Structure 1
Amino acid sequence: MVSRRQLLQALPALPSALGTSVALAQPIAGKPIRLMVAASPGATVDAAARFVSEPLSKMLGVPVIVENRPGAGGAIGSDAVAKSPADGHTLLFTGVTHFSARYSGEASATYDPVKDFSAIARICSAALAVVVATNSPYKTLADLLAAMKAKPGEIDYGSGGVGSTSHLCTVIMNDLTGTKAKHIPYKGNTQAVTDTVAGVVAFTCQGSGGVVPLIKAGRLRALAVTSRNRWEALPDVPTGIESGIPGFEVASWMGSFAPAKTPQPMVSMVSDAMAKIARSPEFKAFCDKQSMYVELMEHSEFQASVPAEDARWRRVAELIKRS
């Protein structure tokens, strides 16, 4: 007969013997998790969150519900999570806008990206494409740059909001080339893309998820991509460096945060689950299809990187204010 003492000693080993989902589910207590995405439906970060949500739900043993909170360049989503209960049931899925939007003058960004959050995991990165409508007079990136030089501040571009990655991309491009464009911020990337297709704005810089289908459908033209290498999905589109802008590389990582003071066991368990997803061949295939790449930082490493990341985007925000 097994004694009570022997049984208690054996209990810690039971979850691992029964499988990951049991081990992870116990601290979650059966309540659904809201995974707030600081971007519009269809954006690249939204696509990554929706891919992650299904396997994450299976591992944690509870529903994981994706909830889009676009606006203010990503600040609205971050702000909402910062003010949510720190019980592990409201998480943020975002990118560099978590930091950049806070320092770009958005009145709605009242959160502290360092003190108000606990970093969970960073799982992938994505570059952007500079796109115009198919009937645009700009056939190459050089054409667009020439127009901006000829008419400083008159060529307009759309973005997902002040401090969004789509905003930062053009700010960096203008800084590298000595050009100037007119910024038209939207509440999310979807409308910026829609108005670029319609010719309401001259161009936008967007992640693959929001523009590759439209490029392949003949509704947008890609002038360049902001990665070091060309995209598998758009092999004929040159990089910004190939187009004559040395150092023009812009990429946004994607990852998850919890409100500060979320119990450490919950943060660690969600981090472990996301890391397992990021290492899976299915996620690698998803990233390849989306012209993204796997870039994994688990909780400890990601948390340690936060102060430097915060300082980096403070500096970029100063560049935005001068642009």
Structure 2
Amino acid sequence: MISRRHILQALPALPMVLGSSAARAQPIAGKPIRLIVAASAGTTVDAAARFVAEPLSKALGVPVVVDNRAGAGGAIGSEAVAKSPADGHTLLFTGVTHFSARYSGEASATYDPVKDFKGIARVCSAALAVVVPTDSPYKTLADLLAAMKARPGEIDYGSGGVGSTSHLCTVIMNDLTGTRAKHIPYKGNTQAVTDTVAGVVAFTSQGSGGVMPLIKAGRLRALAVTSRERWEALPDVPTGIESGIPGFEVASWMGAFAPAGTPDAMVTQISDGMAKIARSPEFKAFCDKQSMYVELLEHREFQASMAKEDARWRRVADLVKRS
């Protein structure tokens, strides 16, 4: 027979038992997760999101469906997630455009990149390649810069929209070199690349996922890459720094966000799943192939970095306004 004393002795242990059960519970369950990608299909951000989606689905036990929402330099995707239910089933996968597009992009964007979101995890980063059509008269980055100096504001370039990384790359390059180019914004990077191949615009700056197949096929020529070191896949293409522009490094990290009200238990569970993927040899091999770098920040670190990223891209937005 169990005495009252034994029952009272057992009571302090109950919260621990219940807490342990809660910790083991799976907060993500039931309906699929919609992973909204703030970029066009075929871009580097899209490629990373699609690689992550399958193993994340297995880790969480629910389908993860990629939903591309390109436009407004990335602001459309971010805004869609900001307005979604905070139930862990609508997430955002994006890059620095989450911040930059808000300040240098569409004036109608109403989301706050910090207050309206919780950072889940950052998984990788990618630099860009400055590319021209293969029949372009510009054989080197120095050639392109010389033309922009000779004809300020006349040499045009395509981007994925105002505030996109492909836009800001040229803004930064112009600021560092005292040159000026004519910006032609598109609804997504895919369209900007297509028109660069066709010679509609003189050049564009894009991640490897969107241009590497076209470079290999001889339809685009890379003048420079914006990383500190040359890309393994393009060993003969110099960096922007090697091309004579000190400090010309532009890279975009990629990661996931949830709406601000999403329960911490859900955010942590998704972050743990993404961190496991980012540490896998398969993801490392994928990044190497895409000329990207594994760059992992789990939930707490990523969340803590958001205010700093916000301030950084506000400063870059000031360059846009002056350009």
State the TM-score, normalizing by the size of structure 1: 0.93
What is the rounded CA distance, in whole Å, between the counterparts of 1:161 and 1:105 in structure 2? 8
Match of 1:107 in 2: 107
Aligned runs of 1:164-203 on 2, under 5 Å?
A: 164-203=164-203
Q: Secondary structure at the match of 2:253?
A: strand
CA distance in 1, matches of 2:35, 2:177: 38
Aligned partner of 2:264 in structure 1 is 264
Partner SS state of residue 109, structure 1: coil
Measured in 1, the distance between the counterparts of 2:14 and 2:174 equals: 66
* Aligned residue type for 1:36: I
1:11-33 CA distances to partner (integer Å, 9 max, x unpaired)?
876899xxxxxx57x21122100
Task: Give yes or no for contact 2:125–2:295 (8 Å, CA) kept in 1.
Answer: yes
Q: In structure 2, what residue type is equivalent to 1:43?
A: T
Give, in whole Å, the separation in 1 of the partners of 2:117 and 2:235: 39
**8 Å contact 2:126–2:251 — kept in the other structure?**
yes
Distance 1:116 1:211 in 2: 33
For residues 62-101 of structure 1, what are the structure 2 equivalents within 5 Å? 62-101=62-101
Matched position secondary structure for 1:28: coil
Identity across matched positions, percent: 85
TM-score (norm 2): 0.93
Q: Note if 1:317 corresponds to 2:317.
A: yes
Secondary structure class of the residue paired with 2:27: helix
Aligned mates of 2:224, 2:22 — CA distance in 1: 49
Deviations 1:63-111 (A, max 9, x none): 0000000000000000000000000000000000000000014134110
Query: In the alignment, which residue of structure 1 is the partner of 2:5?
Result: none
Q: Which amino acid aligns with 1:156?
A: D
1:67 aligned counterpart, secondary structure:
strand
Once the two structures are superposed, the pairs formed by residues 125-140 of structure 1 within 5 Å of their partners are: 125-140=125-140
- Paired residues of 1:75 and 1:108 also in contact (CA < 8 A): no
Q: Measure the CA separation in 1 of the matches of 2:236 and 2:105.
A: 38
Look up the match of 2:7.
none
RMSD after superposition: 1.8
Quick one: structure 1 residues 171 and 217, their matched pair in 2 at CA, closer, same or farther if it must change by over 3 Å?
A: same
1:139-288 matches, within 5 Å, as 139-288=139-288
- Deviation per CA, 1:119-157, whole angstroms, max 9, x where unpaired? 000110000000000000000000000000000000000
Counterpart residue identity of residue 111, structure 1: Y
Q: Which has the larger radius of gyration?
A: 2
Q: In 2, Cα distance between the equivalents of 1:27 and 1:274?
A: 16
CA distance in 2: counterparts of 1:126 and 1:280, whole angstroms: 18
Could you list the per-position Cα deviations for residues 145-181 of structure 1 after superposition, in whole angstroms to 9, with x for gaps in the alignment?
0000000000000000000000010000000000000
Alpha-carbon distance between aligned partners in 2 of 1:248 and 1:89, rounded to the nearest angstrom? 38
Whichever residue aligns with residue 146 of structure 2, its letter is A
- Give the Cα separation in 1 of the matches to 2:198 and 2:275: 40
Aligned residue pairs total: 313
1:42-53 to 2 correspondences below 5 Å? 42-53=42-53
Unaligned runs of 5+ in 1: 17-22
Q: Which amino acid aligns with 1:145?
A: L
Q: Distance in 2 between matches of 1:298 and 1:255?
A: 10
1:46 counterpart SS class: helix
Q: Take 2:67 and 2:215, find their aligned partners in 1: how far apart are those partners?
A: 27
> Corresponding residue for 1:32?
32
Q: Is the 8 A contact 2:88 2:262 kept in 1?
A: yes
